[in-house]
Structure 1
Amino acid sequence: MAARVILSMYTEEKIGDTSPSSGLLDALERPQKIHRVVQEAILLAGGAVAILLQVADPGVARGVDDHSNFAYRPLDRLRTTMTYVYCVTFGTRDEKKAVIEMVHRAHAPVNGPGYSADDPKLQLWVAATLYAVGIELYQEMFGVFEDADAEAIYREYSVLALSLRVTPDMWPPNQKEFWKYWDNQIATMDVTDNAKSVAKDLLRNKEAPLQIRLVLPLVRLTAAQMLPDRLRQAYGLKSSKIRRASYRLLMGFTKATYPCLPKTIRTYPMKYYMRDMRRRLESTA
């Protein structure tokens, strides 16, 4: 189905209205190929990279730094993001409606001088990072998509943006246009003190549980190698021949082993977060 046909299924929502339109919910029932990507646990390995890319936008950085607390609740943003991503792609119509309304309510108070969590441009960038990081990791593990599948998955990823105030005309119509948008964003991003504060809490979190602190060296290594050079340098992350070789070794080992894991293991995080979401929805019913 052509990109514009899919996008035209969505109707715009007014800022301040937490209830998603029926047109949006109709369209959210249609994605199929995106399941193939989103269900894979390997995408969680790019969580830190996606966050660092997101907060490279000064508006996102101010909102996260002013209204989140990575130091004391490092797993909250991961839980919120993955619940949203998994629900929008795998949930029932009622579950999607409930989660979208929940996200809109959570975003409503997140605003201040120069930023608002309901700003469609900021939401577009957040969704773009989820697509770019997710597709890179998936193809690293399983190989590059055929052109038709690549475009279909790209079109379906638009649901992550369009359920967050982004209007259909804002999501680039094809991959070529998306990467033009992406390159322009990377070239013009400004890593502010707010972004560096978030990065410190994310990558060097002394308040995190021990099991998280133990894997932070790998998180820093992955983030440094996956980020574009300009942003890596702005965040003060180091790269060297030894670090690059270590990253290639890590990715080579992961690529050789991860696809061989049983699907039940590779999809466990998706099932876990979906169960968690359903428990929370039941408790508020």
Structure 2
Amino acid sequence: MTTPDDRPSTTPPGADAADHGSGNGDAGEESLFGPGSQFHGFFNDPRWALAVIRATVLEAAHPQVGAALIDNSTFVTHPWRRLRNTLTSLQRMFGADDHTRQREAARLNRMHARLHGTDPQDRPYDAMDPEVRAWVVATLFESTVTMCRLSGQPLEQKTMERLYAEFQAFQAALGDPAHHLPRTLDEFWPYYDRVVAEELENTEAMRIILYKLFDHLPAPPLLNGFPALWATGRAVAGPVVGAITVASLPEPFRRRAGLPEIAGVQTLMQGVYLAAGLTRFLPEGWIKADNILDLLTLSPDGDDPRARTVNALRDRMKRAGALIRLITPMPTEPEPAPADETRRGARTFFAEVLDQTGDGHLDWPDLAAMARELCSRLDLDEPEETRLYTAYADWWRELQSALDTDGDGRVSADEYAAAVPSLAGPALIRVAEVLFDVTDKDGNHTIDADEYRALFRTAFRRDTAGADGTYSRSAFINDFLSFMSGRRRTTPYDPLLADA
């Protein structure tokens, strides 16, 4: 629980989000979004990574959010993709361009409207519930305040008030009623304490984030070629991040949830926050969130010059390893049988591509996650987005009819592997056609270099562009079907749907 010393003693009136304008360019609005905002400065602050992790845990501890994450999210199997999409969305919402903010708010509302259901205790959840969305905003604000306090730089009263007003304006931009977040900063702290004390639970989603995600975090695309290096770093950093996140949570919730208190972790936590705070003295380009995330999510096969540098380093490391094996006596081992590296087995394809949520089964949330990723990359408007979701829904019905042999409403890995279907039925062909149509922004029946990059975030592959330098409809559909039915690697669709 945040102590009274961490909170402002007075809050002037006027913090209501409704008082900050609706995005039409008035002076109040300009002061809350864009480069002059408090959020803009924190976004590129390395300490904010710790704050976001903490906020995510507090969000997942809310039973409605936790249930929605377990049923629909790809945060376990595709955490880097999820992180990039989240940061991109926050940039759009807090940027200076009001049109971009309105489009993003509409997209988020359409996405949240599709996320509803019941948890294992038959309690309903709805991602459009304004009280739940207010809690998500509250965790981001409070975790940012806590981040500054733990790093020895507590926010001043006016700075905290301004930051709270920015997050209220963020909630207002989503179209939620203002009263779900307290109007003033003084009123916020009792609200926050009440939710922590009365509504948060030790949810499955929270436990996964704390005790599974960090310990089993897949390597980002850039480090896929260095499994030993990644595993070693993760083995050290994973438990540390989990421990300091637990230590930073409100003490009443830690006690009620039975979270462990490890001796010395409080000191370690403050040391990590202080060290992260010192990075503000590094050159600005080194700590810019966009640059760091772009580097981590680089595809080794991409056209980015940094990817070529990493590939060159990887080749040198492989040569060094081969030289060491050559001059070091090693016991003879039978050579593995040659395998076609361009193909993956049915179970591998199921786990890497089809099971987007990582629950071991294929059902509608997995295909919805594919549609959600494609819509986000292409920044689709409502009509195109609906067409793509509808095509995926039809494909799910086709898959369910063909593969769900036990009638439980989902497809298991065993059911899929036993059937090993071609998958290239009429519904999947329709998915490919709709995906081509929404990627072909100018409607000229070909995909040019810019449209290709919007979808795949890389330049044309050497074997993709035709003689006229474009990607034809037939070639696009054939490649998509080859990936989804033939389970072929080394296609542009692999980083699109399979990478972490």
Q: TM-score, normalised by structure 2?
A: 0.48
SS in 1 for 2:163: helix
Deviation readout 1:117-162 (Å, 9 max, x if unpaired): 1110110000111111122223544723332232122112212322
- Deviation (angstroms), 1:186: 0.7
Write out per-residue CA displacement over residues 182-214 of structure 1, whole angstroms, 9 at most, x where no aligned residue: 111111122233543454443333655564835
Deviation of 1:269 after TM superposition, in Å, equals 0.6
Corresponding position: 1:242 with 2:247: no
Distance of aligned partners of 1:235 and 1:74 in 2 relative to their CA distance in 1, 3 Å threshold? farther
Q: Amino acid of the residue matched to residue 147 of structure 2?
A: L
1:202 equivalent to 2:213? Answer yes
Query: Compared with structure 1, are the counterparts of its residues 159 and 85 closer, same or farther at alpha carbon in structure 2 (3 Å cutoff)?
Result: farther
More relative contact order, 1 or 2 (CA 8 Å, 6+ apart): 1
Change (3 A) 1:201 1:228: same
- Which among 35, 39, 47 is matched to residue 42 of structure 1? 47
CA radius of gyration, larger in: 2
List aligned pairs for 1:95-244, cutoff 5 A.
95-113=100-118, 114-141=124-151, 143-188=153-198, 189-205=200-216, 207=218, 209=220, 211=230, 213-214=234-235, 215-233=237-255, 237-244=259-266
**Which of 33, 36, 50 is the aligned partner of 2:37?**
33
AA aligned to 1:230 is P
Secondary structure in structure 2 of the residue aligned to 1:176: helix
In structure 1, the gaps of 5 or more residues are: 11-22
Does the CA-based 8 Å contact 1:87-1:95 persist in structure 2? yes
Residue 182 of structure 2 aligns to a residue whose secondary structure is coil
1:72 deviates by 1.1
Partner of 1:94: 99
Which residue pairs with 1:13 in the alignment? none
Q: Is the 8 A contact 1:86 1:273 kept in 2?
A: no
More helix by share: 1
Asked if structure 2 preserves the Cα contact closer than 8 Å seen for 1:154 and 1:175, the reply is yes
Q: Tell me whether 1:61 sits opposite 2:72 in the alignment.
A: no
Give 2:275's aligned residue.
253
1: CA distance, partners of 2:132 / 2:181: 12
Q: How many residues align?
A: 271
Q: TM-score, normalised by structure 1?
A: 0.80
Contact 2:59 2:139 in 1 (8 A): yes
Distance between the aligned counterparts of 1:57 and 1:169, measured in 2? 19
- Cα deviations by residue, 1:46-104 (Å, 9 ceiling, x for unpaired): 22211110011101110111001332112233223222222221252232222222212
Does structure 1 conserve the Cα–Cα contact (< 8 Å) formed by 2:244 and 2:265?
Answer: no
* Closer, same or farther: CA 94–201 of 1 in aligned 2, 3 Å: farther
Instruction: Tell me if the contact between 1:37 and 1:135 (Cα under 8 Å) persists in the aligned partners.
Output: no
Structure 1 residues 109-118 or 97-106, which shifts more?
A: 97-106
Asked whether the 8 Å contact 1:46–1:137 carries over to 2, the reply is yes
Residues 195, 146 of structure 1: CA spacing in aligned structure 2 closer, same or farther, 3 A cutoff?
closer
CA contact (8 A) 1:48 1:202 kept: no
CA contact (8 A) 1:43 1:138 kept: no
Q: C-alpha separation between the residues in 1 aligned to 2:216 and 2:257?
A: 15
Structure 2 letter corresponding to 1:75: W
CA distance in 2, matches of 1:244, 1:126: 25
1:269 aligns with 2:289: yes
What is the CA-CA distance between 1:258 and the residue it aligns to? Answer: 1.9
Secondary structure, aligned partner of 1:75: helix
| RMSD, aligned CA | 3.3
Write the distance in 1 (CA, Å) between the matches of 2:105 and 2:55: 20
